[in-house]
Structure 1
Amino acid sequence: MQLYPIKAGNFKLDGGAMFGVVPKVLWNKTNPADSKNLIDIAARCLLIEDGDRLILIDTGMGNKQSDKFFSYYSLWGDDSLDKSLKEVGFSSDDITDVFITHLHFDHCGGTINWNKDKTGYELAFKNATIWSNENHWDWAVNPNAREKASFLKENILPMQESGHLKFVPRQKGDFIFNDDLNFGVLFVDGHTEKQMIPHISYKDKTIVFMADLLPTVGHIPLPYVMGYDTRPLLTLDEKEKFLKTAADKGYYLFLEHDAHNEIITVKHTEKGVRLNETFSCQEIFN
Protein backbone atom coordinates (compact mmCIF):
# COMPACT_ATOMS: atom_id res chain seq x y z
CA MET A 1 0.00 0.00 0.00
CA GLN A 2 1.11 3.54 -0.76
CA LEU A 3 -0.51 6.81 0.36
CA TYR A 4 -0.42 10.18 -1.40
CA PRO A 5 -1.78 13.57 -0.29
CA ILE A 6 -3.91 15.11 -3.03
CA LYS A 7 -4.35 18.88 -2.92
CA ALA A 8 -7.76 19.76 -4.35
CA GLY A 9 -7.43 23.50 -3.71
CA ASN A 10 -7.40 26.10 -0.96
CA PHE A 11 -10.02 28.56 0.22
CA LYS A 12 -10.98 30.72 3.16
CA LEU A 13 -13.81 30.59 5.67
CA ASP A 14 -15.04 32.94 8.36
CA GLY A 15 -13.05 32.29 11.52
CA GLY A 16 -16.03 32.85 13.77
CA ALA A 17 -18.06 30.25 11.90
CA MET A 18 -15.16 27.82 12.13
CA PHE A 19 -14.88 28.17 15.92
CA GLY A 20 -18.45 28.74 17.05
CA VAL A 21 -18.72 30.26 20.53
CA VAL A 22 -14.95 30.45 21.12
CA PRO A 23 -13.77 34.12 21.20
CA LYS A 24 -11.51 35.30 18.39
CA VAL A 25 -8.81 36.32 20.87
CA LEU A 26 -8.33 32.60 21.53
CA TRP A 27 -8.70 30.91 18.13
CA ASN A 28 -6.75 33.65 16.34
CA LYS A 29 -3.59 32.35 18.04
CA THR A 30 -3.65 29.10 16.07
CA ASN A 31 -5.67 30.16 13.02
CA PRO A 32 -4.88 33.83 12.34
CA ALA A 33 -7.56 35.71 10.44
CA ASP A 34 -7.12 38.29 7.71
CA SER A 35 -8.74 41.74 7.62
CA LYS A 36 -12.07 40.15 6.60
CA ASN A 37 -11.96 37.68 9.50
CA LEU A 38 -11.23 34.81 7.09
CA ILE A 39 -8.85 31.96 7.89
CA ASP A 40 -6.89 29.67 5.56
CA ILE A 41 -8.54 26.34 4.74
CA ALA A 42 -7.24 23.45 2.64
CA ALA A 43 -9.01 20.69 0.74
CA ARG A 44 -6.39 18.00 1.31
CA CYS A 45 -7.62 14.66 0.01
CA LEU A 46 -5.96 11.26 0.33
CA LEU A 47 -5.15 8.73 -2.40
CA ILE A 48 -4.63 5.09 -1.41
CA GLU A 49 -2.85 2.79 -3.85
CA ASP A 50 -3.62 -0.74 -2.68
CA GLY A 51 -2.88 -3.48 -5.19
CA ASP A 52 -4.98 -2.75 -8.26
CA ARG A 53 -7.19 -0.29 -6.36
CA LEU A 54 -6.78 3.49 -6.34
CA ILE A 55 -9.07 4.90 -3.65
CA LEU A 56 -9.52 8.67 -3.39
CA ILE A 57 -10.96 10.00 -0.13
CA ASP A 58 -12.93 13.21 -0.76
CA THR A 59 -12.61 15.45 -3.82
CA GLY A 60 -12.74 19.11 -2.72
CA MET A 61 -15.06 21.77 -4.14
CA GLY A 62 -14.58 21.03 -7.83
CA ASN A 63 -14.72 23.76 -10.46
CA LYS A 64 -18.25 23.80 -11.85
CA GLN A 65 -19.82 26.45 -9.64
CA SER A 66 -20.24 30.07 -10.69
CA ASP A 67 -17.68 32.82 -10.17
CA LYS A 68 -20.12 34.38 -7.69
CA PHE A 69 -20.22 31.16 -5.68
CA PHE A 70 -16.44 30.86 -5.53
CA SER A 71 -16.08 34.53 -4.60
CA TYR A 72 -17.66 33.69 -1.24
CA TYR A 73 -14.74 31.37 -0.47
CA SER A 74 -11.72 33.46 -1.56
CA LEU A 75 -9.88 30.70 -3.42
CA TRP A 76 -6.10 30.94 -3.23
CA GLY A 77 -3.09 29.04 -4.58
CA ASP A 78 -2.86 26.99 -7.76
CA ASP A 79 -3.55 23.48 -6.44
CA SER A 80 -6.18 21.37 -8.20
CA LEU A 81 -7.36 17.78 -8.11
CA ASP A 82 -6.18 16.90 -11.62
CA LYS A 83 -2.83 18.65 -11.18
CA SER A 84 -2.15 16.91 -7.88
CA LEU A 85 -3.10 13.49 -9.27
CA LYS A 86 -0.77 14.06 -12.22
CA GLU A 87 2.09 14.99 -9.89
CA VAL A 88 1.92 11.52 -8.30
CA GLY A 89 1.62 9.74 -11.65
CA PHE A 90 -2.13 9.21 -12.02
CA SER A 91 -5.16 10.65 -13.77
CA SER A 92 -8.85 10.78 -12.91
CA ASP A 93 -9.47 7.77 -15.18
CA ASP A 94 -7.17 5.64 -13.01
CA ILE A 95 -9.27 6.06 -9.86
CA THR A 96 -11.22 2.89 -8.99
CA ASP A 97 -13.05 4.19 -5.89
CA VAL A 98 -14.07 7.58 -4.55
CA PHE A 99 -14.93 7.53 -0.85
CA ILE A 100 -16.91 10.58 0.29
CA THR A 101 -16.74 11.25 4.04
CA HIS A 102 -19.88 13.38 3.74
CA LEU A 103 -21.69 15.25 1.01
CA HIS A 104 -21.00 18.89 1.90
CA PHE A 105 -19.87 20.69 -1.24
CA ASP A 106 -16.25 21.19 -0.13
CA HIS A 107 -15.83 17.42 0.29
CA CYS A 108 -17.62 16.05 -2.76
CA GLY A 109 -17.85 18.80 -5.41
CA GLY A 110 -14.89 17.49 -7.40
CA THR A 111 -16.67 14.15 -7.97
CA ILE A 112 -18.98 15.68 -10.60
CA ASN A 113 -18.03 17.84 -13.61
CA TRP A 114 -19.92 19.64 -16.32
CA ASN A 115 -20.22 17.66 -19.52
CA LYS A 116 -18.45 19.03 -22.61
CA ASP A 117 -21.20 21.45 -23.69
CA LYS A 118 -22.34 22.29 -20.16
CA THR A 119 -25.83 20.91 -20.70
CA GLY A 120 -25.54 18.42 -17.86
CA TYR A 121 -23.17 16.67 -15.48
CA GLU A 122 -20.88 13.67 -15.57
CA LEU A 123 -18.57 11.78 -13.23
CA ALA A 124 -15.07 13.21 -12.99
CA PHE A 125 -13.87 9.64 -12.34
CA LYS A 126 -15.58 7.61 -15.06
CA ASN A 127 -14.19 4.24 -13.93
CA ALA A 128 -14.77 4.68 -10.20
CA THR A 129 -17.31 3.41 -7.72
CA ILE A 130 -18.60 6.27 -5.56
CA TRP A 131 -19.03 5.38 -1.87
CA SER A 132 -21.40 7.03 0.61
CA ASN A 133 -23.73 5.55 3.22
CA GLU A 134 -27.48 5.20 3.12
CA ASN A 135 -28.28 7.20 6.26
CA HIS A 136 -26.15 10.15 5.21
CA TRP A 137 -27.39 10.00 1.62
CA ASP A 138 -31.02 10.25 2.77
CA TRP A 139 -30.05 13.14 5.04
CA ALA A 140 -28.34 14.99 2.16
CA VAL A 141 -31.03 14.56 -0.51
CA ASN A 142 -33.71 15.73 1.95
CA PRO A 143 -31.70 18.51 3.58
CA ASN A 144 -32.64 20.46 6.67
CA ALA A 145 -32.72 24.25 6.41
CA ARG A 146 -29.44 24.60 8.28
CA GLU A 147 -27.42 22.44 5.87
CA LYS A 148 -29.32 23.03 2.62
CA ALA A 149 -26.69 25.45 1.28
CA SER A 150 -23.99 22.81 1.79
CA PHE A 151 -25.82 19.95 0.06
CA LEU A 152 -25.85 21.00 -3.60
CA LYS A 153 -28.05 18.81 -5.78
CA GLU A 154 -25.71 19.18 -8.77
CA ASN A 155 -22.97 17.57 -6.67
CA ILE A 156 -25.10 14.77 -5.29
CA LEU A 157 -27.86 13.56 -7.63
CA PRO A 158 -25.57 12.88 -10.63
CA MET A 159 -23.70 10.33 -8.50
CA GLN A 160 -26.83 8.22 -8.24
CA GLU A 161 -27.89 8.88 -11.83
CA SER A 162 -24.51 7.61 -13.06
CA GLY A 163 -25.16 4.14 -11.66
CA HIS A 164 -21.77 4.23 -9.90
CA LEU A 165 -23.03 4.97 -6.38
CA LYS A 166 -22.73 2.33 -3.66
CA PHE A 167 -23.33 2.45 0.08
CA VAL A 168 -21.01 1.05 2.72
CA PRO A 169 -22.71 -1.56 4.92
CA ARG A 170 -25.10 -0.40 7.58
CA GLN A 171 -23.14 0.14 10.75
CA LYS A 172 -23.48 -2.03 13.84
CA GLY A 173 -22.40 0.37 16.55
CA ASP A 174 -20.19 3.26 15.54
CA PHE A 175 -17.34 1.46 13.75
CA ILE A 176 -17.22 -0.99 10.87
CA PHE A 177 -14.47 -2.60 8.85
CA ASN A 178 -15.21 -2.21 5.17
CA ASP A 179 -13.89 -5.28 3.36
CA ASP A 180 -14.61 -3.68 -0.02
CA LEU A 181 -12.19 -0.82 0.67
CA ASN A 182 -9.83 -2.51 3.14
CA PHE A 183 -10.07 0.09 5.88
CA GLY A 184 -12.13 0.83 8.96
CA VAL A 185 -14.83 3.49 9.18
CA LEU A 186 -15.89 5.42 12.28
CA PHE A 187 -19.35 6.99 12.04
CA VAL A 188 -19.93 10.33 13.79
CA ASP A 189 -23.07 12.47 13.87
CA GLY A 190 -22.17 15.80 15.46
CA HIS A 191 -21.14 17.65 12.30
CA THR A 192 -23.72 15.99 10.09
CA GLU A 193 -25.60 12.69 10.03
CA LYS A 194 -23.27 9.68 9.67
CA GLN A 195 -20.07 11.42 8.62
CA MET A 196 -17.49 8.68 7.93
CA ILE A 197 -13.95 8.85 9.34
CA PRO A 198 -11.60 6.36 7.63
CA HIS A 199 -8.94 4.53 9.67
CA ILE A 200 -6.18 3.14 7.44
CA SER A 201 -3.59 0.61 8.56
CA TYR A 202 -0.34 1.70 6.93
CA LYS A 203 2.89 -0.12 7.73
CA ASP A 204 3.01 0.04 11.55
CA LYS A 205 0.75 3.08 11.85
CA THR A 206 -2.94 3.93 11.90
CA ILE A 207 -3.67 6.94 9.67
CA VAL A 208 -7.01 8.60 10.41
CA PHE A 209 -8.56 10.88 7.80
CA MET A 210 -10.15 13.50 10.05
CA ALA A 211 -12.58 15.23 7.65
CA ASP A 212 -14.71 17.61 9.77
CA LEU A 213 -14.39 15.79 13.10
CA LEU A 214 -11.12 17.71 13.58
CA PRO A 215 -10.73 20.36 10.86
CA THR A 216 -7.49 21.95 12.08
CA VAL A 217 -4.95 21.81 14.90
CA GLY A 218 -6.77 24.75 16.44
CA HIS A 219 -9.85 22.57 17.01
CA ILE A 220 -8.18 20.11 19.41
CA PRO A 221 -9.51 21.68 22.66
CA LEU A 222 -12.97 20.23 23.24
CA PRO A 223 -15.05 23.46 23.23
CA TYR A 224 -13.53 24.53 19.90
CA VAL A 225 -16.43 23.28 17.77
CA MET A 226 -17.46 24.66 14.40
CA GLY A 227 -20.57 26.77 14.10
CA TYR A 228 -21.42 24.60 11.10
CA ASP A 229 -21.98 21.49 13.24
CA THR A 230 -25.63 20.46 13.46
CA ARG A 231 -25.25 18.85 16.90
CA PRO A 232 -22.37 20.63 18.67
CA LEU A 233 -22.86 18.91 22.03
CA LEU A 234 -22.64 15.56 20.30
CA THR A 235 -19.46 16.74 18.56
CA LEU A 236 -18.00 17.45 22.01
CA ASP A 237 -18.63 13.87 23.12
CA GLU A 238 -17.46 12.31 19.85
CA LYS A 239 -14.31 14.40 19.72
CA GLU A 240 -13.44 13.71 23.37
CA LYS A 241 -13.85 9.96 22.89
CA PHE A 242 -11.86 9.93 19.66
CA LEU A 243 -9.00 12.12 20.89
CA LYS A 244 -8.52 10.01 24.01
CA THR A 245 -8.31 6.91 21.82
CA ALA A 246 -5.95 8.67 19.39
CA ALA A 247 -3.63 9.65 22.26
CA ASP A 248 -3.77 6.16 23.79
CA LYS A 249 -3.08 4.37 20.51
CA GLY A 250 -0.75 6.85 18.85
CA TYR A 251 -2.90 7.50 15.79
CA TYR A 252 -1.57 9.75 13.04
CA LEU A 253 -4.27 12.31 12.21
CA PHE A 254 -4.44 13.42 8.57
CA LEU A 255 -5.95 16.92 8.57
CA GLU A 256 -8.10 17.64 5.54
CA HIS A 257 -8.74 21.32 6.23
CA ASP A 258 -5.63 22.59 8.02
CA ALA A 259 -3.76 24.60 5.38
CA HIS A 260 -0.50 24.63 7.37
CA ASN A 261 -0.38 21.30 9.25
CA GLU A 262 -0.71 18.02 7.37
CA ILE A 263 -0.45 15.21 9.93
CA ILE A 264 -0.36 15.37 13.72
CA THR A 265 -0.30 13.18 16.78
CA VAL A 266 -1.88 14.06 20.13
CA LYS A 267 -1.07 13.34 23.78
CA HIS A 268 -2.69 13.42 27.21
CA THR A 269 -1.92 16.47 29.37
CA GLU A 270 -3.30 17.98 32.57
CA LYS A 271 -5.50 20.21 30.38
CA GLY A 272 -6.82 17.29 28.35
CA VAL A 273 -5.66 15.95 25.02
CA ARG A 274 -3.37 18.38 23.20
CA LEU A 275 -1.07 18.51 20.20
CA ASN A 276 1.97 16.24 20.42
CA GLU A 277 3.89 16.40 17.14
CA THR A 278 3.34 17.66 13.60
CA PHE A 279 4.56 15.93 10.44
CA SER A 280 4.54 16.44 6.72
CA CYS A 281 2.87 13.76 4.64
CA GLN A 282 6.25 13.01 3.10
CA GLU A 283 7.72 12.18 6.51
CA ILE A 284 4.99 9.65 7.28
CA PHE A 285 4.19 8.20 3.86
CA ASN A 286 7.72 7.71 2.49
Structure 2
Amino acid sequence: MTLYPINAGNFKLDGGAMFGVVPRTLWQRTNPADANNMIDLTARCLLIEDGNRLILIDNGMGNKQSEKFFGYYHLWGDASLESSLKKYGFHKDDITDVFLTHLHFDHCGGGIEWNKDKTGYQPAFKNATFWSNKEHWQWATQPNRRERASFLKENILPMEESGQLKFTAIPNNAILKNSELGFDIFFADGHTDKQMIPMINYKGKTICFMADLLPTAGHLPLPYVMGYDTRPLLTLDEKEKFLNLAAENAYYLFLEHDAHNEIITVKKTEKGVRLKDIHSAQDIFN
Protein backbone atom coordinates (compact mmCIF):
# COMPACT_ATOMS: atom_id res chain seq x y z
CA MET A 1 0.00 0.00 0.00
CA THR A 2 1.13 3.55 -0.82
CA LEU A 3 -0.49 6.79 0.34
CA TYR A 4 -0.41 10.16 -1.42
CA PRO A 5 -1.70 13.58 -0.20
CA ILE A 6 -3.83 15.17 -2.93
CA ASN A 7 -4.45 18.92 -2.82
CA ALA A 8 -7.77 19.65 -4.56
CA GLY A 9 -7.48 23.42 -4.03
CA ASN A 10 -7.26 26.13 -1.37
CA PHE A 11 -9.96 28.48 -0.14
CA LYS A 12 -10.93 30.75 2.75
CA LEU A 13 -13.88 30.82 5.14
CA ASP A 14 -15.00 33.14 7.89
CA GLY A 15 -13.06 32.31 11.05
CA GLY A 16 -16.06 32.93 13.26
CA ALA A 17 -18.09 30.36 11.32
CA MET A 18 -15.23 27.89 11.55
CA PHE A 19 -14.95 28.23 15.34
CA GLY A 20 -18.55 28.80 16.41
CA VAL A 21 -18.90 30.41 19.85
CA VAL A 22 -15.14 30.63 20.48
CA PRO A 23 -13.94 34.30 20.41
CA ARG A 24 -11.53 35.42 17.72
CA THR A 25 -8.98 36.42 20.38
CA LEU A 26 -8.60 32.71 21.14
CA TRP A 27 -8.83 30.97 17.76
CA GLN A 28 -6.64 33.47 15.91
CA ARG A 29 -3.64 32.22 17.92
CA THR A 30 -3.61 29.08 15.78
CA ASN A 31 -5.63 30.22 12.73
CA PRO A 32 -4.82 33.88 11.99
CA ALA A 33 -7.44 35.78 10.01
CA ASP A 34 -7.07 38.46 7.35
CA ALA A 35 -8.70 41.88 7.45
CA ASN A 36 -12.01 40.34 6.38
CA ASN A 37 -11.94 37.72 9.17
CA MET A 38 -11.17 34.95 6.65
CA ILE A 39 -8.81 32.07 7.48
CA ASP A 40 -6.74 29.86 5.18
CA LEU A 41 -8.20 26.43 4.44
CA THR A 42 -7.55 23.66 1.95
CA ALA A 43 -9.20 20.57 0.47
CA ARG A 44 -6.52 17.96 1.18
CA CYS A 45 -7.66 14.58 -0.09
CA LEU A 46 -5.97 11.21 0.33
CA LEU A 47 -5.12 8.70 -2.39
CA ILE A 48 -4.62 5.05 -1.44
CA GLU A 49 -2.83 2.74 -3.90
CA ASP A 50 -3.47 -0.81 -2.75
CA GLY A 51 -2.91 -3.59 -5.25
CA ASN A 52 -5.27 -3.05 -8.18
CA ARG A 53 -7.33 -0.45 -6.31
CA LEU A 54 -6.75 3.29 -6.37
CA ILE A 55 -9.01 4.82 -3.73
CA LEU A 56 -9.52 8.58 -3.47
CA ILE A 57 -10.94 9.94 -0.22
CA ASP A 58 -12.98 13.11 -0.92
CA ASN A 59 -12.33 15.31 -3.97
CA GLY A 60 -12.78 19.01 -3.14
CA MET A 61 -15.16 21.58 -4.62
CA GLY A 62 -14.57 20.86 -8.30
CA ASN A 63 -14.72 23.60 -10.90
CA LYS A 64 -18.24 23.50 -12.39
CA GLN A 65 -19.88 26.12 -10.19
CA SER A 66 -20.31 29.76 -11.21
CA GLU A 67 -17.79 32.55 -10.72
CA LYS A 68 -20.20 34.09 -8.22
CA PHE A 69 -20.29 30.84 -6.21
CA PHE A 70 -16.51 30.57 -6.00
CA GLY A 71 -16.31 34.26 -5.12
CA TYR A 72 -17.73 33.43 -1.70
CA TYR A 73 -14.81 31.10 -0.97
CA HIS A 74 -11.83 33.27 -1.99
CA LEU A 75 -9.86 30.60 -3.84
CA TRP A 76 -6.09 30.98 -3.59
CA GLY A 77 -3.00 29.20 -4.90
CA ASP A 78 -2.73 27.09 -8.03
CA ALA A 79 -3.32 23.58 -6.63
CA SER A 80 -5.95 21.40 -8.28
CA LEU A 81 -7.14 17.82 -8.12
CA GLU A 82 -5.90 17.07 -11.63
CA SER A 83 -2.44 18.58 -11.15
CA SER A 84 -1.99 16.86 -7.80
CA LEU A 85 -2.90 13.46 -9.26
CA LYS A 86 -0.56 14.11 -12.20
CA LYS A 87 2.28 14.89 -9.78
CA TYR A 88 2.19 11.25 -8.70
CA GLY A 89 1.65 9.87 -12.20
CA PHE A 90 -2.12 9.34 -12.02
CA HIS A 91 -5.19 10.49 -13.94
CA LYS A 92 -8.83 10.67 -12.87
CA ASP A 93 -9.59 7.71 -15.14
CA ASP A 94 -7.22 5.57 -13.03
CA ILE A 95 -9.31 5.96 -9.87
CA THR A 96 -11.22 2.78 -8.97
CA ASP A 97 -13.04 4.04 -5.87
CA VAL A 98 -14.09 7.46 -4.57
CA PHE A 99 -14.87 7.36 -0.85
CA LEU A 100 -16.89 10.34 0.37
CA THR A 101 -16.70 11.21 4.05
CA HIS A 102 -19.90 13.21 3.53
CA LEU A 103 -21.66 15.06 0.73
CA HIS A 104 -21.08 18.74 1.52
CA PHE A 105 -19.95 20.51 -1.66
CA ASP A 106 -16.34 21.04 -0.54
CA HIS A 107 -15.90 17.28 -0.10
CA CYS A 108 -17.67 15.85 -3.16
CA GLY A 109 -17.96 18.63 -5.78
CA GLY A 110 -14.94 17.39 -7.71
CA GLY A 111 -16.62 14.04 -8.34
CA ILE A 112 -19.08 15.41 -10.90
CA GLU A 113 -18.31 17.61 -13.90
CA TRP A 114 -20.07 19.16 -16.88
CA ASN A 115 -20.51 16.93 -19.91
CA LYS A 116 -18.78 17.92 -23.14
CA ASP A 117 -21.41 20.40 -24.38
CA LYS A 118 -22.45 21.59 -20.88
CA THR A 119 -26.00 20.31 -21.20
CA GLY A 120 -25.74 18.10 -18.15
CA TYR A 121 -23.42 16.42 -15.67
CA GLN A 122 -21.29 13.29 -15.61
CA PRO A 123 -18.93 11.56 -13.17
CA ALA A 124 -15.43 13.01 -13.27
CA PHE A 125 -14.14 9.52 -12.38
CA LYS A 126 -15.67 7.42 -15.12
CA ASN A 127 -14.16 4.12 -13.95
CA ALA A 128 -14.76 4.55 -10.21
CA THR A 129 -17.32 3.38 -7.69
CA PHE A 130 -18.60 6.19 -5.48
CA TRP A 131 -19.03 5.20 -1.80
CA SER A 132 -21.43 6.77 0.70
CA ASN A 133 -23.87 5.23 3.21
CA LYS A 134 -27.66 4.96 3.06
CA GLU A 135 -28.45 7.16 6.04
CA HIS A 136 -26.20 10.01 4.96
CA TRP A 137 -27.41 9.71 1.37
CA GLN A 138 -31.00 10.18 2.53
CA TRP A 139 -29.91 13.07 4.75
CA ALA A 140 -28.21 14.76 1.78
CA THR A 141 -30.89 14.13 -0.85
CA GLN A 142 -33.70 15.25 1.46
CA PRO A 143 -31.77 18.09 3.12
CA ASN A 144 -32.79 20.02 6.20
CA ARG A 145 -33.02 23.79 5.89
CA ARG A 146 -29.79 24.26 7.85
CA GLU A 147 -27.65 22.26 5.41
CA ARG A 148 -29.53 22.75 2.14
CA ALA A 149 -26.93 25.20 0.79
CA SER A 150 -24.16 22.65 1.34
CA PHE A 151 -25.88 19.69 -0.34
CA LEU A 152 -25.93 20.61 -4.03
CA LYS A 153 -28.02 18.22 -6.12
CA GLU A 154 -25.71 18.58 -9.14
CA ASN A 155 -22.88 17.17 -6.99
CA ILE A 156 -24.89 14.27 -5.63
CA LEU A 157 -27.66 12.90 -7.88
CA PRO A 158 -25.45 12.17 -10.95
CA MET A 159 -23.53 9.61 -8.87
CA GLU A 160 -26.70 7.55 -8.49
CA GLU A 161 -27.91 8.21 -12.03
CA SER A 162 -24.62 6.90 -13.44
CA GLY A 163 -25.04 3.55 -11.68
CA GLN A 164 -21.65 4.02 -10.00
CA LEU A 165 -22.95 4.55 -6.44
CA LYS A 166 -22.57 2.01 -3.62
CA PHE A 167 -23.18 2.17 0.12
CA THR A 168 -20.98 0.95 2.95
CA ALA A 169 -22.49 -0.93 5.84
CA ILE A 170 -23.46 1.01 8.98
CA PRO A 171 -22.16 -0.47 12.26
CA ASN A 172 -24.11 -1.07 15.46
CA ASN A 173 -21.53 1.01 17.33
CA ALA A 174 -19.30 3.88 16.20
CA ILE A 175 -16.67 1.92 14.25
CA LEU A 176 -17.15 -0.25 11.19
CA LYS A 177 -14.29 -2.76 11.11
CA ASN A 178 -12.60 -3.73 7.85
CA SER A 179 -15.03 -2.09 5.46
CA GLU A 180 -15.35 -2.96 1.76
CA LEU A 181 -12.54 -0.48 1.12
CA GLY A 182 -10.12 -2.32 3.40
CA PHE A 183 -10.05 0.19 6.26
CA ASP A 184 -12.03 0.85 9.44
CA ILE A 185 -14.55 3.71 9.52
CA PHE A 186 -15.55 5.85 12.51
CA PHE A 187 -19.09 7.21 12.13
CA ALA A 188 -19.86 10.66 13.55
CA ASP A 189 -23.20 12.51 13.58
CA GLY A 190 -22.40 15.91 15.10
CA HIS A 191 -21.30 17.74 11.95
CA THR A 192 -23.78 16.02 9.67
CA ASP A 193 -25.59 12.71 9.86
CA LYS A 194 -23.31 9.66 9.44
CA GLN A 195 -20.09 11.41 8.46
CA MET A 196 -17.41 8.74 7.91
CA ILE A 197 -13.83 9.00 9.20
CA PRO A 198 -11.48 6.46 7.51
CA MET A 199 -8.89 4.78 9.75
CA ILE A 200 -6.17 3.25 7.57
CA ASN A 201 -3.63 0.70 8.77
CA TYR A 202 -0.40 1.72 7.05
CA LYS A 203 3.04 0.28 7.84
CA GLY A 204 2.10 -0.31 11.47
CA LYS A 205 0.58 3.16 11.86
CA THR A 206 -3.08 4.19 11.94
CA ILE A 207 -3.73 7.13 9.61
CA CYS A 208 -7.07 8.82 10.33
CA PHE A 209 -8.61 11.05 7.67
CA MET A 210 -10.28 13.60 9.94
CA ALA A 211 -12.67 15.33 7.47
CA ASP A 212 -14.85 17.76 9.46
CA LEU A 213 -14.60 16.00 12.82
CA LEU A 214 -11.30 17.89 13.26
CA PRO A 215 -10.94 20.45 10.43
CA THR A 216 -7.65 21.98 11.62
CA ALA A 217 -5.14 21.56 14.42
CA GLY A 218 -6.66 24.68 15.95
CA HIS A 219 -9.89 22.76 16.60
CA LEU A 220 -8.33 20.37 19.13
CA PRO A 221 -9.89 21.92 22.29
CA LEU A 222 -13.31 20.32 22.69
CA PRO A 223 -15.41 23.53 22.68
CA TYR A 224 -13.79 24.64 19.40
CA VAL A 225 -16.67 23.41 17.25
CA MET A 226 -17.65 24.79 13.86
CA GLY A 227 -20.76 26.91 13.52
CA TYR A 228 -21.62 24.65 10.58
CA ASP A 229 -22.17 21.58 12.80
CA THR A 230 -25.81 20.54 13.06
CA ARG A 231 -25.45 18.97 16.53
CA PRO A 232 -22.58 20.75 18.30
CA LEU A 233 -23.11 19.02 21.65
CA LEU A 234 -22.83 15.67 19.91
CA THR A 235 -19.65 16.84 18.18
CA LEU A 236 -18.19 17.55 21.63
CA ASP A 237 -18.79 13.95 22.69
CA GLU A 238 -17.55 12.48 19.41
CA LYS A 239 -14.39 14.60 19.42
CA GLU A 240 -13.65 13.64 23.00
CA LYS A 241 -14.09 9.94 22.28
CA PHE A 242 -12.01 9.98 19.10
CA LEU A 243 -9.21 12.23 20.39
CA ASN A 244 -8.80 10.07 23.48
CA LEU A 245 -8.48 7.03 21.21
CA ALA A 246 -5.96 8.94 19.11
CA ALA A 247 -3.84 9.88 22.12
CA GLU A 248 -3.98 6.37 23.63
CA ASN A 249 -3.17 4.59 20.36
CA ALA A 250 -0.76 7.10 18.77
CA TYR A 251 -2.98 7.69 15.73
CA TYR A 252 -1.73 9.99 12.97
CA LEU A 253 -4.44 12.55 12.19
CA PHE A 254 -4.54 13.59 8.52
CA LEU A 255 -6.12 17.05 8.39
CA GLU A 256 -8.30 17.71 5.36
CA HIS A 257 -8.85 21.43 5.86
CA ASP A 258 -5.70 22.67 7.64
CA ALA A 259 -3.79 24.63 5.01
CA HIS A 260 -0.55 24.65 7.01
CA ASN A 261 -0.46 21.35 8.95
CA GLU A 262 -0.82 18.06 7.08
CA ILE A 263 -0.63 15.45 9.84
CA ILE A 264 -0.57 15.74 13.63
CA THR A 265 -0.32 13.49 16.67
CA VAL A 266 -1.92 14.29 20.01
CA LYS A 267 -1.33 13.66 23.70
CA LYS A 268 -3.34 13.80 26.93
CA THR A 269 -2.71 16.79 29.22
CA GLU A 270 -4.37 18.31 32.27
CA LYS A 271 -6.36 20.52 29.89
CA GLY A 272 -7.49 17.58 27.74
CA VAL A 273 -6.08 16.20 24.51
CA ARG A 274 -3.66 18.62 22.90
CA LEU A 275 -1.16 18.80 20.05
CA LYS A 276 1.92 16.60 20.37
CA ASP A 277 3.76 16.77 17.05
CA ILE A 278 3.25 18.12 13.53
CA HIS A 279 4.37 15.97 10.59
CA SER A 280 4.54 16.31 6.84
CA ALA A 281 2.78 13.69 4.79
CA GLN A 282 6.07 12.96 3.02
CA ASP A 283 7.74 12.03 6.30
CA ILE A 284 4.93 9.72 7.43
CA PHE A 285 4.09 8.11 4.09
CA ASN A 286 7.66 7.41 2.93
TMscore range, shorter length: over 0.9
Structure 1 position 172, deviation (Å): 1.8
Tell me if the contact between 1:169 and 1:178 (Cα under 8 Å) persists in the aligned partners. Answer: no
Tell me if the contact between 1:264 and 1:279 (Cα under 8 Å) persists in the aligned partners. Answer: yes
Per-residue CA shift, 1:159-215, capped at 9, x if unaligned?
Answer: 000000000013221111244210000100000000000000000100000000000
Aligned partner letter, 1:41: L
State the partner residue of 1:90: 90
State the partner residue of 1:53: 53
Runs of 4+ in 1 over 4 A off after TM superposition: none
Question: What is the SS of the residue equivalent to 2:177?
Answer: strand
TM-score, normalisation: structure 1: 0.99
State the partner residue of 2:261: 261
In the alignment, the residues of structure 2 paired with residue 79 and residue 177 of structure 1 have an alpha-carbon distance, to the nearest angstrom, of 34
In the alignment, the residues of structure 1 paired with residue 187 and residue 180 of structure 2 have an alpha-carbon distance, to the nearest angstrom, of 17
In the alignment, the residues of structure 1 paired with residue 129 and residue 206 of structure 2 have an alpha-carbon distance, to the nearest angstrom, of 24
Instruction: Give the 5 Å matches for 1:30-179.
Output: 30-179=30-179
Per-residue CA shift, 1:37-88, capped at 9, x if unaligned?
Answer: 0000000000000000000000000000000000000000000001000000
In the alignment, the residues of structure 2 paired with residue 17 and residue 213 of structure 1 have an alpha-carbon distance, to the nearest angstrom, of 15
In the alignment, the residues of structure 2 paired with residue 101 and residue 78 of structure 1 have an alpha-carbon distance, to the nearest angstrom, of 24
Tell me if the contact between 2:82 and 2:91 (Cα under 8 Å) persists in the aligned partners. Answer: yes
In the alignment, the residues of structure 2 paired with residue 269 and residue 275 of structure 1 have an alpha-carbon distance, to the nearest angstrom, of 10
In the alignment, the residues of structure 2 paired with residue 206 and residue 106 of structure 1 have an alpha-carbon distance, to the nearest angstrom, of 25
State the partner residue of 1:203: 203
Per-residue CA shift, 1:134-165, capped at 9, x if unaligned?
Answer: 00000000000000000000000000000000
TM-score, normalisation: structure 2: 0.99
Aligned partner letter, 1:18: M
Question: What is the SS of the residue equivalent to 1:29?
Answer: coil
Tell me if the contact between 2:168 and 2:179 (Cα under 8 Å) persists in the aligned partners. Answer: no
Unpaired runs of 5+ residues, structure 2, are none
Aligned partner letter, 1:183: F
Tell me if the contact between 2:169 and 2:179 (Cα under 8 Å) persists in the aligned partners. Answer: no
In the alignment, the residues of structure 2 paired with residue 216 and residue 106 of structure 1 have an alpha-carbon distance, to the nearest angstrom, of 15
In the alignment, the residues of structure 2 paired with residue 281 and residue 14 of structure 1 have an alpha-carbon distance, to the nearest angstrom, of 27
Tell me if the contact between 1:168 and 1:178 (Cα under 8 Å) persists in the aligned partners. Answer: no
Question: What is the SS of the residue equivalent to 1:130?
Answer: strand
Q: How many residues align?
A: 286
**Percentage of matched positions with identical amino acids:** 74
In the alignment, the residues of structure 2 paired with residue 139 and residue 57 of structure 1 have an alpha-carbon distance, to the nearest angstrom, of 20
Question: What is the SS of the residue equivalent to 2:239?
Answer: helix
State the partner residue of 2:239: 239
In the alignment, the residues of structure 2 paired with residue 131 and residue 178 of structure 1 have an alpha-carbon distance, to the nearest angstrom, of 15
State the partner residue of 1:21: 21
In the alignment, the residues of structure 2 paired with residue 128 and residue 95 of structure 1 have an alpha-carbon distance, to the nearest angstrom, of 6
State the partner residue of 1:275: 275
Aligned partner letter, 2:147: E
Aligned partner letter, 1:216: T
Query: Please, what is the CA RMSD of the aligned residues?
Result: 0.5
